[in-house]
Structure 1
Amino acid sequence: MADGVVMREIESGDVMDMRDETFANVIDEINARQSQTRLSVVLAILFGIAGFLVGKALGGAAPVLGVMAFLPGMLIGKWLDGYRRVSVLYYDLELDAEAAYGRLVGAFETLTLCAGRWHVAAGGKIQDLTTWKRNAGASMLVDKKPTTLASTLPQVVRSNVTPPSIQVGRQVLYFMPDLVLVKDGNRYGAVGYADLRTQFAPTNFIETGRVPSDAEVIGHTWAHPNKSGGPDRRFKNNRQIPICRYEALRLSSATGLNELLEFSRTNVSQAFCQALSAIAQLHQDSSRQTLSAD
């Protein structure tokens, strides 16, 4: 609850429930490798202890040698972890698949150019007049924070492609050519493009913070409005607040993905959603051709 408003979380389910049997072996391998003990930690401790004991035996230099031995142990362990705990995903895409993925990457870059990019964690409807006045006449309260959009791979994966990625709260979505890889801490799940649902729509937001440089201001309200929409004279310093036209994008799946994003510009999500749908269609067509061949 926030400011007397019941907030409903907009949150994905357990990442381990996000399984597409087509990619089950890949996800199982990533999770199995990720669960292995970090040799960088083990060897750093062992080398440090060994250095300490050697230093003590030599007389008085134990702490110094312990610290000096700690770093080589960590570096050697990190090098070994690079082979033990990392999965390799190599893609040799057909021309149509490469073109479709290129359109997805291009549409994603348009999203990254928005001055304002947020992940919406929760929302709640304002029910009473007092709360409505206290929140500049807003009909909804939202809990949102700036989020990160970047082209990057998770540390546990090496690949010949660098996918678009979106931070959505505690999870990160990686848009690989064949699946959406979902990272939650040290665990990974997957959503097939055919199972990914998208929705986008413009939304009006009463911006009490800094207005993004590319946002469209469509009007103003008062920090404390009266019923008619004018300023409530009982409040001092009752300033005007801009109303911005943003765009909301929802990503969901039947397996539990449920995330809401917001961007400071409108007409930026459609190309991204169309690119996702095009990749899904390619995969479905490929599956039908495989079944026909069988």
Structure 2
Amino acid sequence: MDDWNDLKLVLAVVRSGSLTAAAKALGVAHSTAFRRLLALEERLGVRLFERLPAGVYAPTSAGERMAGAAERVETETAALGRDLLGADLRLSGRLRVTCSETLAFVLLTPIMAEFRREHPGITLDVVIDNRVLSLSRREADVALRVSRPREGDLHGRKLADIGWTLYATPDVLAACGPVDLDDLGRLPFVGWEEAVSGVNTADWLAAHVPERAFVYRTASVINQMVAARAGLGVALLPCYLGDAEPSLIRATPQPLPGLDRELWIVTHADLRRTARVRAFMDLVSARLAAARAQIAGVA
């Protein structure tokens, strides 16, 4: 084993369960990944994966052992990278930031523009993703998250509480009459795709709104806002997003109880003293802390 790329390929296939998904994650063509995996198995004289129907790749015992070794190498190289970056005192280089689509759409992008004006030597790579990316594996350097970090190797600050409530156009609400939270079946609703679960707002809608009331579903909160703006129905939105859209009004005057989330900015503890990480976290923390009332929906 003299090529780290071979280990990365095996690890990517084990994690995704698919050669197609692994090739996409590694940024290579499917045919390239197929040839590399086949050549690796021939060179080692052992089968690493069982090819199952529907393109599923199940690791053999040899494949699992190689993936375990690859994870250990990945952990060590990520730790080395964090150690080297943590000693970097320059206000230059690349900074990889991850946040949700709504945070980027309303709150974060103007702050990033200000950051770039102050630090033109720093290039921002922004990953818009509602998943929790791994800071230990350097999938991002800084993350905006809507929950308190649980990992012991992370360093972060709570910035605000996020309030949510129901929004619609005045015409939709006028046609439906006063909103009663105990009788939401009278309203047309914009909701999440049925496959989405484990998201607190999706679970709230499933618990409080009957199935027959949903007229539009999507997995994008931004698209839910756009659908409500188009008059399709009522949408459950974060207050900083719904209040910023002039064509929408609140269907309920106050944020709904039990739906508030904590907004945190976090980085790996090894990176907290890196100049560009510290400068970014300080600016974002100051600007979003100043907007706490807006984010909580009590402004």
TM-score tier, shorter chain, comes to under 0.3
TM-score under structure 2 length normalisation: 0.23
Higher normalized helix content (fraction of residues): 2
Higher normalized strand content (fraction of residues): 1
Structure with bigger gyration radius: 1
TM-score under structure 1 length normalisation: 0.24
